[in-house]
Amino acid sequence: MGQIEWKMPRVADEITQAYAKSDFTPLLAAVMCARGFDTPEKARRSLKRDKSLLCDPMLLSDMDKAVSRIELAIELHQKTAVYGDYDVDGISSACLLLDYFQSRGLDCEVYIPDRLEEGYGINNKAISVLHERNIALIVTVDCGITAVSEAEYAKSLGMDMIITDHHECPQVLPEAAAVVDPKRPDSKYPFEELAGVGVAFKLVCAMEKNVDALLGGYADLVAVGTIADVMPLVGENRYLTYIGLEKLRNDPLPGFAALLEEAGVSKKPLTAATVGFTLAPRINAAGRLCRTETATRLILAKNQQEAQVWAKELCALNRRRQELEIEVWEDAMSFLSDTEPKSPIVLESDSWHPGVVGIAASRLTEEYKLPTVMICVDDENGKGSCRSYGDFNLFEALSACSEHLVSFGGHAFAAGLNIKPENIGAFRNALAEYYSQNPPTVHPELSPDVLIKNPASLSMEGVESLSELEPCGSGNEHPLLCICGAVLESLAPIGNGKHLRLRISQKGVLFDCVFFSRTAENLGVSEGETVDICFTLQVNDFHSRQSVQLLIVDVRRSETLETCRNILEKNELLIDEARLYRPEREELACLWRSIRRLGGKLELSFDKFFEDFGITFMEPVKLCLGIRILSELKLLDTSVVNGRVLCLASDNAGKTELDKSPLFRLLWENSL
């Protein structure tokens, strides 16, 4: 705590004013302003989630070729294989195409490579296996865009390949009957961010004219793959996930219904988070433990009984995955618990399950705020999963240490490597050396969308208006809000002491808050203190009574008081911060009148700063700025002694020009 920087948004007044005349609630308007939609019209357009977001599948390069090759396979009764991947996106795409192809009478099977034996992507051995099974056509999903030599190999065996993928394209594309990828440099397709399952769905749309029927059959599958693959939920993905989540709520595939039931969330509100945190890990567990068939059988299950069997098994696999993860975690912690590591964590073991070391590496990264490399070693080889932290570029770091590695690949945040076990020590030192030369520069920061100045705006109506943003997730995050200078009234542990329930109040409004994975000990603030909080909003449904609940993301001892003291005692202020609170002309006039009404005398002390002292219409920082401005104009005579502020209204105050105050001019520079 305290190490996360909060970056407050600033929105130009003319934009705020334009929204004030629109039909947006003040809360939603503030969020849209903060997200850069400078007119209500643009904001409306971005909130659209209807069919007009669907793009023409024929705009994807090679789509025509893909369609005619598949039609030919149907006509000639050629055996076809759909080649997928072991993650949720890869499994969803494979099941989608298989189901559709079978519905067209095509003799078709699914091939998912084994995570540990084969790894990601298409490989020659798999192609040979498919060849032996008399497969004439391979359609890849969620992979294949780099399979230049594999496509050549398939061709040499007399097999055709259609590649559908959504990953970045290499310089040279594979030679295949069709290569469909929205990221192709020659693509005219307007939306690049489809998931693998999105591309598979577009292929089916190209073959079938009735999009509504296809959405009715596959929208939930498309949504699950897209959300699990952390694709941005904007544009076409926004519509696909919106309608897919609707289907997941009302008319899900039997497999998804069974999995939601088995996971115990079937009665809870279903959002993108349900997919991300409940469905996806369970489906992924199958891939991690090399049992992808469990997942494909679940998704393809045609009835409830069948689906239940596979859902139970997937949940069991997921529990096993969690156990393995804990084993790896505890083992790693036993290496690290004595010393607080200062440079990248590089650990090795011959007993870890390779399917879960990536997750363990991510958790270590979070725990220690350091890049982490976890290496599974057998006799001659070490295979490492690497995760970065902050803006430390892992890929560049591995490049710099590559003399100790057999091979490596990946990107700035996550990578994989192969290493000879005897070189691990030298690699660890080289990485530590590189890290000390190139430490991460940017500290993690939070960027709240909106600073809530009026807590009453967090009404049920306001909170419900935010649902127009749904589905929220990657690329369209839940609005992050903050309140400054609230009082932490009480806190209590919940969930066996794992989480905290907090009650905070500001200006007489009381809020229920939950802070997950925090205890009173590691909260950093205590009851009775004045705090700033950063949070997202949730509607809490308890005994069918609805209430607003704040999900805390970060809490800190309030800097508001600090800012006030800086303004009045030290005459120091950060202009960007101060502009958030700059008082309007009318507000200054109102302040002046109020002080006169109080008998020309305003007295306050910093130790009771958040208590009511007669000026309730201004928040503390704004009030302090107002006092300074009125003092500069000689309307007030202000003195600050020992934390006590005394303002006396001058008797001979005539008409005055606000612009004569240097502070007022500074605050309103460029916007007057």
Q: Which is nearer to Mn ion, 385 or 558 (CB)?
A: 385
Q: Which is nearer to Mn ion, 196 or 485 (CB)?
A: 196
Any residues with CB less than 8 A from the CB of 487 and at least 6 apart, and which? 504, 505, 506, 528, 529, 530, 531, 610
> Is the Cβ–Cβ distance between 436 and 193 less than 8 Å?
no
The nearest distance, CB 114 to Mn ion, in angstroms, is 18
Q: Which is nearer to Mn ion, 200 or 500 (CB)?
A: 200
Q: Which of residues 292-311 bind Mn ion (CB under 5 A)?
A: none
The nearest distance, CB 103 to Mn ion, in angstroms, is 24
> Is the Cβ–Cβ distance between 371 and 393 less than 8 Å?
no
Length of the chain: 672
Regarding 229 and contact with Mn ion (CB under 5 A), the answer is yes
In the block, which residue shows the tokens 């967090």?
458
> Is the Cβ–Cβ distance between 141 and 164 less than 8 Å?
yes
The nearest distance, CB 144 to Mn ion, in angstroms, is 11
> Is the Cβ–Cβ distance between 200 and 93 less than 8 Å?
yes
Q: Which stretch binds Mn ion (CB under 5 A): 136-144, 308-316, 489-497, 549-557?
A: 136-144
The nearest distance, CB 265 to Mn ion, in angstroms, is 24
Q: Which residues pair with 509 in a beta bridge?
A: 506
The nearest distance, CB 180 to Mn ion, in angstroms, is 14
Which of 523, 527, 519, 459 lies closest to 490, judged by CA? 527
Whole-number Å distance between alpha carbons of 562 and 568:
10
The nearest distance, CB 271 to Mn ion, in angstroms, is 21
Q: Is 624 left (phi over 0), alpha (psi -120 to 50) or beta?
A: alpha
The nearest distance, CB 214 to Mn ion, in angstroms, is 20
The nearest distance, CB 166 to Mn ion, in angstroms, is 6
Which of 401, 337, 393 lies closest to 364, judged by CA? 337
Q: Which is nearer to Mn ion, 89 or 554 (CB)?
A: 89
Q: Which of residues 472-531 bind Mn ion (CB under 5 A)?
A: none
Any residues with CB less than 8 A from the CB of 485 and at least 6 apart, and which? 506, 530, 532, 558, 560, 561, 610, 619, 620
Q: Which is nearer to Mn ion, 192 or 577 (CB)?
A: 192
Residues 59-98, one symbol each (x = binds Mn ion by CB under 5 A, - = not), give: ------------------------------x---------
Q: Which is nearer to Mn ion, 62 or 89 (CB)?
A: 89
Q: Output b/e per residue, 379-413; b: 16+ Cβ within 10 A.
A: eeebbbbbbbbbebbbbebbeebeebbeebebeeb
Which of 609, 304, 318, 651 lies closest to 487, judged by CA? 609
CA dihedral (513, 518, 524, 525) in degrees, to 10, reads 30
Which of 90, 94, 96, 92 lies closest to 82, judged by CA? 94
Regarding 313 and contact with Mn ion (CB under 5 A), the answer is no
Residue whose beta carbon is closest to Mn ion: 89
Q: Which is nearer to Mn ion, 225 or 485 (CB)?
A: 225
Regarding 165 and contact with Mn ion (CB under 5 A), the answer is no
In the block, which residue shows the tokens 């992507």?
121
Q: Which is nearer to Mn ion, 196 or 281 (CB)?
A: 196
Q: Which is nearer to Mn ion, 229 or 449 (CB)?
A: 229
The nearest distance, CB 231 to Mn ion, in angstroms, is 8
> Is the Cβ–Cβ distance between 93 and 163 less than 8 Å?
no
Hey, what amino acid is at 620? Answer: P
Hey, what amino acid is at 240? Answer: L
The nearest distance, CB 195 to Mn ion, in angstroms, is 5
Number of residues that bind Mn ion (CB under 5 A): 4
Q: Which is nearer to Mn ion, 196 or 462 (CB)?
A: 196
Q: Which is nearer to Mn ion, 196 or 244 (CB)?
A: 196
The nearest distance, CB 142 to Mn ion, in angstroms, is 4
Any residues with CB less than 8 A from the CB of 330 and at least 6 apart, and which? none
The nearest distance, CB 120 to Mn ion, in angstroms, is 10
Q: Which of 99, 142, 220, 554 binds Mn ion (CB under 5 A)?
A: 142
Q: Which of residues 191-210 bind Mn ion (CB under 5 A)?
A: 196
> Is the Cβ–Cβ distance between 535 and 551 less than 8 Å?
yes
| Phi–psi pair at 470, nearest 5 degrees | -60, 150
Q: Which of residues 254-293 bind Mn ion (CB under 5 A)?
A: none
Q: Which stretch binds Mn ion (CB under 5 A): 139-147, 151-159, 257-265, 405-413?
A: 139-147
Q: Which is nearer to Mn ion, 89 or 150 (CB)?
A: 89
Q: Contact positions toward Mn ion, by CB under 5 A?
A: 89, 142, 196, 229
